[in-house]
Amino acid sequence: MKIAFLTEKIEPKAEAEIKLLEDNGFEVLVFDSKNLEGRLINQRKDLDLIYVWQAIGLAGLAAKIKFILQTALVYRQNEKISFNQDQKKAAKYLFAEADKILLADNDFVSDWQAMNLDLYEQKLVLPSADEKIAGLFEDLIKANKNYDLRICYFGSFDQYYTRNRILLKGLPRNQVKVIKVNDRSAKLAKFFKLWRMHRKIKNDYDLMFVAFQGQLIMPLAWLLARLNKKKIVFDAIFSIYDSVVLDRKEVSPRTFRAKYLHFLDWLACRLADIVIVHTKFHKEFFIEEFGLKNRADKIVTLYVGADNELLFPRPELAPKADPFVVHFHGSYIPAQGLEHVIIGAAKILKEENIVFNLIGRGQSYQEVKNKAAEWQLNKVNFIKPVPYRVLGKYMNQSDVCLGSFGVSPKITRVVPLKVFEALACGRALITARTPAILELLTEGENCLLTEMGEPQDLAEKILYLKNNPAVKEKIAKNGYDLFVNNLSPNASANKLKKIFLSLYETNQR
């Protein structure tokens, strides 16, 4: 196994690390900064892992071309770094692409925290010349080479958005090699950069996967894929026209912007070989709204799920006594029902020993806060948005987690993300009774359901769980079991892999 060892200088600790790797059967090639990008790309077919020693600038360069190199990337920090502007930019590239970041001292975490980069998942505190590194590198190399299919994960996407986070974790664990071609530049620049990036890997993948929210990217993706005789899977999840125009009502359906968004959805669905949506009710909406009856077999469903490495049961945090804690997190859009249902239930339960923790900000935040003040709801806590893994702490400190309760048509078609997250944390769930929810959950077994838009019903369900702890625990356990078996990153990615393989095999005939 061949390792590219990137460093600005060879010092005694680096020499010891190289010797350790060589003693464990690795071939180590040392690279300095001179013409680094060209040399790495020229030797990419022979390299199994990139290992960057302290030099954050070299690490950033390696991260930028990782999609070309298609190898594991590990960075080693042996001493404190005071990041200048160029180094901060390099660190952000590295943070997005590194498989592991090895820290000689846990105190180095503060260097990254200063840039709002949370190393929670990537870091491993490991002194240099530690024998464990050989096993780590072997595992990373084997995982990178063990695949049944290669996909180009294409678009202008946020890789930390839950859907992408789940698939980018789950697909490699299901032997699907992921080559990310992603650019988030503004306006037209991203199209040119995506074209250039794709050109460098156009022969290295089997299928193209256009990531959520890729309606605007689909024409370019279609052109590139067709030129290379590749099929396209488009991860629509839901309609942008539905979200912006019909649900949030940001613009009237008669406006040019509404018609433009409708056209983007319509076109994207016709350019893709397979379109993935959230539920069967989304599928029905797409077929009817965008005239896709003759392509109904090309539209498939896949739940979003949740990241159970960040959100998972933590029994030690669960409330042991009163007050009874009700948790909600969200963006305060109308579909979530905060301004009427949740704050209305809090008003009804005002005299009970029940605390509401509402995490987030958004469209109706001020309206909800004003109502809480007007009604003197002193047991409603308004909490700013928190990092994803911190969210799990709040959820585990609650007795009940709430889903969505609005009355918009969209809410009948969607399973809110917060529902999956509550199941992942093993918390009792209350959400509105909708067709999409009933497709996934069983009332009284793994959730309690309320009528849409009914604060009195929600208040009664909260009080019922408060007074019946055994029912609360049963619902929580059954919900968690459902999540583990059907909604984890591995389960979601396994279902997606089957979609990929079916399309790929059809294309090979």
Q: Is the peptide bond before 323 cis (omega within 30 degrees of 0)?
A: yes
**DSSP class of residue 410?**
H
Mapped onto helix, strand or coil, the DSSP state of residue 40 is: helix
pLDDT in tens, 221-253: 999 999 999 999 999 999 999 999 998 889 999
Element holding 190 (H helix, E strand): helix 189-201
128 close to 17: Cβ distance less than 8 angstroms: yes
Q: Which residues lie closer than 8 Å to 123 by C-beta, 6 or more apart?
A: 100, 101, 102, 103, 109
**pLDDT class for 81, splitting at 50, 70, 90?**
confident
* pLDDT tops 80 at residue 509: no
**377-404 average pLDDT score:** 95
- Cα separation of 17 and 28, whole Å? 10
Strand partners, 471: none
The residue among 325, 335, 376 whose CA lies nearest residue 355 is 325
* HEC assignment per residue over 73-87: EEEEECCCCCCCHHH
pLDDT in tens, 43-61: 999 999 999 999 999 999 9
User: In angstroms, what CA-CA distances link 276 with 122, 183, 220, 362, 443?
Assistant: 29, 22, 19, 28, 27
The confidence score (pLDDT) of residue 19 equals 96
The residue among 416, 402, 312 whose CA lies nearest residue 354 is 402
245 close to 269: Cβ distance less than 8 angstroms: no
pTM of the full structure: 0.92
The confidence score (pLDDT) of residue 180 equals 97
To the nearest whole percent, how much of the chain has pLDDT over 70? 100
Length of the chain equals: 509
* pLDDT tops 80 at residue 285: yes
pLDDT in tens, 315-369: 999 998 889 999 999 999 888 999 999 999 999 999 999 999 999 999 899 999 9
**76-91 average pLDDT score:** 90
265 close to 239: Cβ distance less than 8 angstroms: yes
pLDDT in tens, 403-417: 999 988 888 999 999
pLDDT in tens, 467-488: 999 999 999 999 999 999 999 9
Strand partners, 282: none
Give all domains of the chain, ordered by start, each with its CATH number.
2-142 (3.40.50.2000), 147-305+490-508 (3.40.50.2000), 315-487 (3.40.50.2000)
The confidence score (pLDDT) of residue 199 equals 97
The confidence score (pLDDT) of residue 389 equals 84
User: In angstroms, what CA-CA distances link 17 with 3, 26, 165, 356?
Assistant: 12, 11, 32, 53
Expressed in percent and rounded to 5, the helix, strand and coil fractions of the chain are: 50, 15, 35
